[in-house]
Structure 1
Amino acid sequence: MEPVYRLLEMTANTAVFLTGAKIEYRGLKEIPASGGAVIAINHTGYVDFLPAALASVEAGRRLRFMVKAEMQEVSIVNYLIKHTKAIPVDRSAGHGAYEAAVGSLRSGEIIGVYPEATISRSFELKEFKTGAARMAHEAGVPIVPLVVWGAQRIWTKSHPKNLRHSKIPVNVVVGPSLAASEDFERTTTALRNVMEQLLEQAQADYSREPGAYWLPRRLGGSAPTLEEAQLLDQAELAERARKRTDPGRR
């Protein structure tokens, strides 16, 4: 029954209720009823994992996530990682996490993966990494594309979080599964193309506020373009590197 995971589900549903968020799910039948699968999720903010996980619960499955290994340093988070079958990822030695994920997939679990790796400040799809294609192919499982739209209004990079009872709508759209071929680049390109279509579907009937920070530039918002966002990401990485090499100047 996994009591810890069940408690997290109840907590997540309570959080949705308290904030008044309205989550609409589409295509839940595309999530396999059994067996392993890589669930590829777009990454617009710090809480888009929650609608994705709840979508899996609605489909009768429990989504396992790959999380930063340093999160294990927080005792309560480490406890949750151990009791929800999450997979810690040490970026300096990521092969172990990869093997653990493949083993989990082979055992019939569904694993949540962010092909973009980091949050997209533009709220458009960034360049995809090939990890999802590689682990799906090695484990012999499909890739299921899943797009979350609207969660960036709750909490995203460079903007204050909004945890009030603001009734923010969130759309979750799941698309048909893809088989991963030995050509990882080709599979990854096909995955990104499908997720572009799903993103457009999720945005099509979503209300738009001209100039809103959470809306892509092409839809009339003020979010940075992909190119501008890339420069911001590079500046952030450079600043992190500077702090590591010169901690006294923080």
Structure 2
Amino acid sequence: MAELVYPPVIGMARTMFKALDLRFDIQGTENIPRRGGAVLVSNHIGYLDFVFAGLTTRPAKRLVRFMAKESVFRHKVSGPLMRAMKHIPVDRKQGIDAYRHAVQSLRSGEIIGVFPEATISESFTLKGFKSGAARMAQEASVPLLPIALWGTQRLWTKGHKRDLGRHHFPITVRVGEPMDADPSEPADSITERLRARVQELLEAAQRAYPVRPKGPDDTWWVPAHLGGTAPAPPQPAGH
């Protein structure tokens, strides 16, 4: 079936990025498979992450069907677009339907995009990963594609106003090699390996990021452990 909406939306996004003069550094796109299903797994630091994560598959001429919370599909503007682009709504109270939809799509050769932290990390560090991505990859017999985004939080993130001015913000993205999801390995174990790999990619992206805060008022987007003023990550229970 022809993709009547997705390509024009991508074109609009690229036009917007050009207008904002964003500076992209995307490495590892050769790891995106040219055909067949895969679960693309990304960290989550801003509201536009799905757009930037989706850019990684363009050299392979692939489209990503993202799993997103159902409320996005109810919005009068984003809802029709999300449905037309065949993204997958997730009702967190009844997630099994979205899970089955995703597995079926993976088996039919689609790339499914997942943010396993479920919500934006306000500390800009990795939160715990839910095991759904690993379980889907196991059930559909497809690989996991770990990626890390950095700099996207500067455009629009939780607790901060959108900043879509022409500031030449760098956006750094790293795509890792596909990871097997062996059905004989516990999903929690795969999830731990996956999170560790995304962490490695995130640290690589942060090291490669070409700018540092311009002053004391510009440190909000840098994690506390890197000398910034982003909120510290929540401590696990019992600490």
TM-score after normalising by structure 1: 0.88
The 1:162–1:180 alpha-carbon spacing in structure 2 relative to 1, beyond 3 Å, is same
Q: Which amino acid aligns with 1:208?
A: R
> Which residues of 2 match residues 31-42 of structure 1 at below 5 A?
31-42=32-43
CA-CA distance at 1:161 after TM superposition: 1.1
Deviations 1:133-161 (A, max 9, x none): 01000010000001110000001111111
Q: Which amino acid aligns with 2:147?
A: L
Where does residue 239 of structure 1 map in the other structure?
none
Secondary structure at the residue paired with 1:14? helix
Alignment gaps of 5+ in structure 2: none
Deviations 1:186-208 (A, max 9, x none): 10000011111101110112122
Matched, 1:5 2:12: no
Secondary structure at the residue paired with 1:203? helix
Taking the aligned partners of 2:234 and 2:87, their CA distance within structure 1 comes to 33
Where does residue 97 of structure 1 map in the other structure?
98
* Stretch moving more, 100-109 or 13-22: 13-22
> Which residues of 2 match residues 1-250 of structure 1 at below 5 A?
1-181=2-182, 182-206=185-209, 207-209=211-213, 211=216, 212-227=219-234
TM-score after normalising by structure 2: 0.92
CA-CA distance at 1:69 after TM superposition: 1.7
| Contact 1:213/1:223, CA 8 A, preserved across alignment | yes
Deviations 1:182-228 (A, max 9, x none): 40111000001111110111011212226510001121111111127
RMSD: 1.6
Q: Which amino acid aligns with 1:172?
A: V
Taking the aligned partners of 2:234 and 2:88, their CA distance within structure 1 comes to 32
Tell me the matched-pair count. Answer: 230
Where does residue 237 of structure 1 map in the other structure?
none
Secondary structure at the residue paired with 1:58? coil
Taking the aligned partners of 2:74 and 2:224, their CA distance within structure 1 comes to 38
Alignment gaps of 5+ in structure 1: 232-250
